[in-house]
């Protein structure tokens, strides 16, 4: 079966298609969802900062209207990307996740980082161009690791002060320049909880559009050390029995997949599927 959502570089000069509208408050939606007839949406007199052709949904072209700010549209509401991730159709979420990353990248590259001149959007590839420097800027992806550490039938879970109250999750962090993914796992675990790990095993990846991360998921076994949470980063970290787990991350997240994968492995349950 062909995927409902596929990315593509579309020229905004072409007519028709669907459109999504985005501002700092999230995406516009109504009773029919987030996809609006493009011509209708552009007649709503919105303050459009930029327009991007981003792909096809069910074979139809889709464009992103990146707005300068929040605006009221009759019969419509605004909702943040995280809310779309937690509920509704996952194909629609993937469309919005891509739109959010393209909109953020283009907004942050309106001016050349080398000379400061205004950049222009190239319509035949996903790039912003500075004529003065002959410089092309492409969307960036920041690799980060996320790891579940286990010790027999126990798993290490931690809380960040930014988490929803009561929720515990796996450890995660961004890779540094010149660092392998495995090096990143070992460094982040040492920094965040002062533990050493071994037998690092890659399990899968997930695009994390807040705003432009590629989460590389790993499982690692505890080797040595006592938990010492990193000040200002880790509010609490504990070993939990797989039979008595605290509130966990959303089911569509790679963090939850890593946890569910190990629990299923230990209990002889069917292996979960990583959303993607």
Could you tell me if 61 and 39 are in contact, meaning their C-beta atoms sit under 8 angstroms apart? Answer: no
How much is the average pLDDT of 45-50?
92
Query: What gap in Å lies between CA 187 and CA 218, rounded to an integer?
Result: 14
Q: Quick one: 165 exposed, middle or buried, by C-beta within 10 A (0-12, 13-18, 19+)?
A: exposed
Q: How confident is the model at residue 63 (pLDDT cuts 50, 70, 90)?
A: very high
How much is the average pLDDT of 178-196?
97
How much is the average pLDDT of 33-62?
95
Q: How confident is the model at residue 85 (pLDDT cuts 50, 70, 90)?
A: confident
Could you tell me if 210 and 93 are in contact, meaning their C-beta atoms sit under 8 angstroms apart? Answer: no
User: Which phi and psi angles does 227 have, rounded to 5°?
Assistant: -65, 125
Domain range annotation of the chain: 5-108, 142-267
Q: Do domains 5-108 and 142-267 have the same CATH topology?
A: yes
Domain 5-108 has CATH 3.90.79.20: yes
Domain 142-267 has CATH 3.40.190.10: no
Q: If we measure between CA atoms, which residue out of 106, 130, 94 comes closest to residue 53? A: 106
Q: If we measure between CA atoms, which residue out of 245, 265, 158, 149 comes closest to residue 201? A: 149
Buried (b) or exposed (e) across 137-149, using 16+ Cβ within 10 A?
beeeeeebbbbbb
- Put simply, whether the predicted model's pTM sits higher than 0.85 gets the answer yes
Q: How confident is the model at residue 207 (pLDDT cuts 50, 70, 90)?
A: confident
Whether 119 shows a pLDDT value over 90: the answer reads yes
DSSP state of 45: -
pLDDT, residue 276, reads: 67
**% residues pLDDT > 70 (the chain):** 99
């Amino acid at each position: 079966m062909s995927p409902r959502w596929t990315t593509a570089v579309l020229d905004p000069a072409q007519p028709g298609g669907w459109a999504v509208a985005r501002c700092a408050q999230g995406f516009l939606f109504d009773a029919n969802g987030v996809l609006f007839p493009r011509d209708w949406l552009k007649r709503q007199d919105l303050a459009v900062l930029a327009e991007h052709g981003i792909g096809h949904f069910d074979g139809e072209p889709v464009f992103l209207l990146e707005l300068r700010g929040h605006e009221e549209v009759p019969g419509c509401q605004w909702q943040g990307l995280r809310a779309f991730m937690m509920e509704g159709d996952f194909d629609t979420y993937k469309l919005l996740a891509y739109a959010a990353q393209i909109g953020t990248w283009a907004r942050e590259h309106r001016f050349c980082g080398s000379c400061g001149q205004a950049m222009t959007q190239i319509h035949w590839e996903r790039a912003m161009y500075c004529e003065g420097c002959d410089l092309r800027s492409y969307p960036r992806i920041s690799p980060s690791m996320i790891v579940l550490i286990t010790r027999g039938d126990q798993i290490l879970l931690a809380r960040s002060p930014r988490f929803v109250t009561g929720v515990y999750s796996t450890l995660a962090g961004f890779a540094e320049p010149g660092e392998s993914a495995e090096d990143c796992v070992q460094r982040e675990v040492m920094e965040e909880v002062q533990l050493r790990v071994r037998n690092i095993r890659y399990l899968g990846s997930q695009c994390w559009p807040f705003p432009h991360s590629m989460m590389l998921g790993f499982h690692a076994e505890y080797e040595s050390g006592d938990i010492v949470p990193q000040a200002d980063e880790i509010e609490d970290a504990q070993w939990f029995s797989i039979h008595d787990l605290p509130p966990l991350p959303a089911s569509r997240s790679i963090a939850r997949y890593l946890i569910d994968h190990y629990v299923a492995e230990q209990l002889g349950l069917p292996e979960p599927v990583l959303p993607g």
